[in-house]
Structure 1
C-alpha cells in the first residue's frame, strides 16, 4: 500500500507513553495488527468477557428481554497527557496517513451530497486509556466511541492481527482504521442513534445482535467505499493489497472466530457477521464506491 508520500492528519491524539496506562504484554513499540476486529469478538476470542470490554458502538450489546444499556458519558477525570498532531514514528505516521485519506474521501463524498463531513479524532494509546464511552483496553481491539467521535487504537493490535489471525499487511491495517471511521460516518448520518433505539426495543439478545451485525457489515462496506475512492485519488493499491483486506475480513468473521475458539459457531450470538458476509460487503463497497450500495439495514445480508 502506498502511503508514505501523502499527508498525515493532525487529528491524532497520541497518548502512548504518556502514563496512566499499562503496556500490553508482548507488544513491540511501533509494531501492530490490522483493522476490523471487533470489540466483543476480540475480547471473546482472547477469553475475556465481551460485556466487560464493550465500549462505543463496536459490538453493541443488548440484554436479553430488556432494554439495551445506553452509552452514558463518563467522567474524563484527566486522561493521561497526550501530544496532538501527526506522530513521528513509522506506525503512527501510517495510521495518521490513513486517517488523512479517510478525511479527504469522506469530505468529498459528503460535499457531493450537500453535507459537511466532521473529521473524527484518532486516539493512539498503549494498554489502556479512557473514552467518553468508558474504559478502553488493548484487548478490546480498535473501536469508535460516538459520544466523543473518536476512534481508539492500540497499534499493537496490528501485530496481533498478523500473529493471531494470520492477517498481515499495510492494507489490512488500513481496512481496520477505515472500518472504524465507517462507524463515524454512520454516526454523522444518524444510523448509530437509530440502531441504539431499535436495540432498546429489542425483545431478545439475538434480536439486538442481529442489528449489530447489520451495523458492522455496513461499516465493512463503507471501508470498501473509502478504498475505492482513495485508490482513484491516490493510487494507493499495490499488488496483493486487496487480498490482504479480504483475508483480514475473512479471518475475523464471527463464525471463524467461534469455530477457532470452541469448535462450533452459534449464529444467534454473532455481532459482526460471518466471514463470507464481511468479505462480501467490503467487496461491494470496493467495487461500487457508492454509499447507496451499503444499506444493510433492509433486506437480506
Structure 2
C-alpha cells in the first residue's frame, strides 16, 4: 500500500508504554448495568472495570524502529478511512461523518468496554467511540495467522473503523436491543452478521483507496479475511467447527463480503441482515 505521501491522522491516542490498572472513577448501579451490557454486546471482558482503581503510570518508553513504523502506518491508514467515510457519508447518506479515535497501546490498557490486551486482539468500543490496537497484533497476524502483507494490516484497522461506521448509522444499537432478548445461538448469529457487514464496509473502503493499492493488495486482504474465519480458527485449534458458536463468520463468508463491498462500493450493498 502506497502511503508515503498520505497524511497522518490527528485522531490517534498513543498509550504505548503506559501501565493502566483498574478503572477511573466509581460505577453506580445504572453505570454497572451499562458496563455489563456493553461487555455482553462486544464480547470484551469487563471484569477489570468492576475492581477498584489502582494506578496509571508511564515510564520512559522508547519504541523500536519497527514499532514506530507500524504506528505511523496505522495513523496514515486511519487518515484514509477518515477521507473515504467523509465522502461516502456525504454522497450516500447526505450526513456528516464523525471519525473515531484509534488508541495505540502496548500489552494492556483499559476502555469503557473492559480490559484490552495484545492477546484479545483489536476491538471497537461504542461507549467511547474508540478503536483499540496493540501494534504487536500485526506480527501475530503475519507470523501466527499467516496473513502477510501491509494491506492485511490495513484491513484490520479498516474493519474496526467499519464498526464505528455501524455505530454512526445506528446499527450497533439496533442489534444490541435484539441481542438482549435473544438466546446465545441467536445472539451469536446476529454478531456474525455485524462482523460480515464490517467486512463488507472494509471492502467499500478498499475500493475508494484503489489508487493507493499495489499489486497483490486485494488478495492480501482477502487472505486475511479467510485466515480469521471462525471455521479456520477452530480447525487450527484442533476442533471441529461448530457453527452455532461462530461470532465472525466462516472464511468464505468473510472474504466474499469483503469482495462484495469492494465491487459494489455502496453501503446499501452491505446489508448482511437482509441478504444471505
Q: TM-score, normalised to structure 2's length?
A: 0.85
- Output the CA distance in 2 between the equivalents of 1:56 and 1:7: 36
- Output the CA distance in 2 between the equivalents of 1:185 and 1:229: 15
Cα distance, 1:287 vs. partner?
1.1
- Output the CA distance in 1 between the equivalents of 2:40 and 2:212: 30
Residues 221 and 283, structure 1, Cα contact 8 Å, conserved in 2: yes
RMSD, matched Cα: 2.6
Instruction: Indicate the SS of the match to 1:280.
Output: helix
- Output the CA distance in 1 between the equivalents of 2:197 and 2:50: 25
Cα distance, 1:294 vs. partner?
0.2
Gaps of at least 5 residues in structure 1 are 22-53, 62-68
Q: 1 or 2 for the larger relative contact order (CA 8 Å, sep ≥6)?
A: 1
Task: Work out which of the residue numbers 155, 166, 169 in structure 1 matches 2:149.
Answer: 169
Listed as ranges, the matches of 1:236-275 within 5 Å are 236-275=212-251
Cα distance, 1:20 vs. partner?
3.4
Cα distance, 1:230 vs. partner?
1.7
Return the structure number with greater helix share.
2
- Output the CA distance in 2 between the equivalents of 1:180 and 1:145: 9
Listed as ranges, the matches of 1:72-221 within 5 Å are 89-112=68-91, 113-202=93-182, 204-221=183-200
Tell me which residue corresponds to 2:261: 285
Larger radius of gyration: 2
Gaps of at least 5 residues in structure 2 are 22-37, 62-66
After TM superposition, what 4+ stretches of structure 1 lie above 3 angstroms from structure 2? 54-61, 72-83
Q: How many residues align?
A: 252
- Output the CA distance in 1 between the equivalents of 2:221 and 2:144: 16
- Output the CA distance in 1 between the equivalents of 2:50 and 2:208: 34
Q: TM-score, normalised to structure 1's length?
A: 0.78
